[in-house]
Amino acid sequence: MPSEPLSRGRIVATAIDLIEREGADAVSMRRIAAELGVGVMSLYNHVPNKDALLNGVAEAVLSKIEFTDDPDAHWTDRVRMQARAFRQIAHHHPRSTMLVVSRQLHSAAGLLPVERALATLRSAGFDGADAVRMLRMFIAYIVGSLLREVGVTPTFAPVQTRTIKADGVDPALFPEVSSLADLLAECDHEAEFDFGLELLITAIEAHAGRREGTR
């Protein structure tokens, strides 16, 4: 009695589930098949290869984020909302975040956020070139922030609490790091994200004003 008929959707869904439960390294075709109670090669009837499957995962996660865009709001609020919506990925699918961010999607799911962002920036009065620049800047900041949040990028940043405090950084070699150890060890991701976001928004608002003024 095959409970359900096995489809690309079901495969992608169990892959996401598996990633969130056991991490991206746990994903293998055999593992997914086992999870579905199915032969390994049956998967290949619905997915051409593992890479495509992972693209499917990225796409699915990305298309789950809820963009509640209010076209009447001030553009700064719309930018804020979109950035925050994007950050939801790190909350809802922390262990898939790296996947979402490191795969280039040519599909509608991948283009939709870009489209919205560009529309918002254009509505703020930026010309095409500026809108693209701003978008790239925001994406860079957001991607970097998400990676830190999900623990991919702690390269010299949060550093495990114990490592930096007990394990002992040599205060002679790294005076600042060791004196700020407590601050470096803790990280309120939401606050940090918002801090940078506000700074960026303020900055491009000023940038826009300057442009306006010199025109």
Partner DNA sequence: GGGGGGTTACGTACACCGTACGTCCGTGTT
Partner DNA sequence: AACACGGACGTACGGTGTACGTAACCCCCC
- Cα separation, 155 vs 163, whole angstroms: 13
Q: Which whole-number Å values give the CA distances from 143 to 87, 93, 115, 131, 146, in the listed order?
A: 9, 14, 17, 18, 5
Query: Would you say 98 and 215 are in contact if contact means Cβ atoms under 8 Å apart?
Result: no
Q: Take residue 99 and report the two structure tokens written for it.
A: 């996947």
Residue with the two structure tokens 């709001």: 73
Query: Among residues 58 and 135, whose Cβ is nearest to DNA?
Result: 58
85 binds, among its own copies, DNA, none (CB under 5 to 8 A by kind): none
167 binds, among DNA, its own copies, none (CB under 5 to 8 A by kind): its own copies
Q: Is residue 171 part of the contact set for its own copies (CB under 8 A)?
A: no
Q: Is residue 23 part of the contact set for its own copies (CB under 8 A)?
A: no
Q: Is residue 16 part of the contact set for its own copies (CB under 8 A)?
A: no
Q: Is residue 85 part of the contact set for its own copies (CB under 8 A)?
A: no
Nearest to 64 by CA among 105, 94, 93, 26: 93
| Contact with its own copies (CB under 8 A) among 24, 29, 38, 187 | 187
Q: Is residue 67 part of the contact set for its own copies (CB under 8 A)?
A: no
Q: How far is the CB of 135 from its own copies (least distance, A)?
A: 8
Q: Take residue 145 and report the two structure tokens written for it.
A: 């922030």
Judging by beta carbons within 10 Å of its beta carbon (0-12, 13-18, 19+), is residue 119 exposed, middle or buried? middle
| Contact with its own copies (CB under 8 A) among 16, 60, 100, 124 | 100
Q: How far is the CB of 18 from DNA (least distance, A)?
A: 11
Q: Is residue 196 part of the contact set for its own copies (CB under 8 A)?
A: yes
173 binds, among DNA, its own copies, none (CB under 5 to 8 A by kind): its own copies
Q: Is residue 143 part of the contact set for its own copies (CB under 8 A)?
A: yes
Residue with the two structure tokens 């703020």: 124
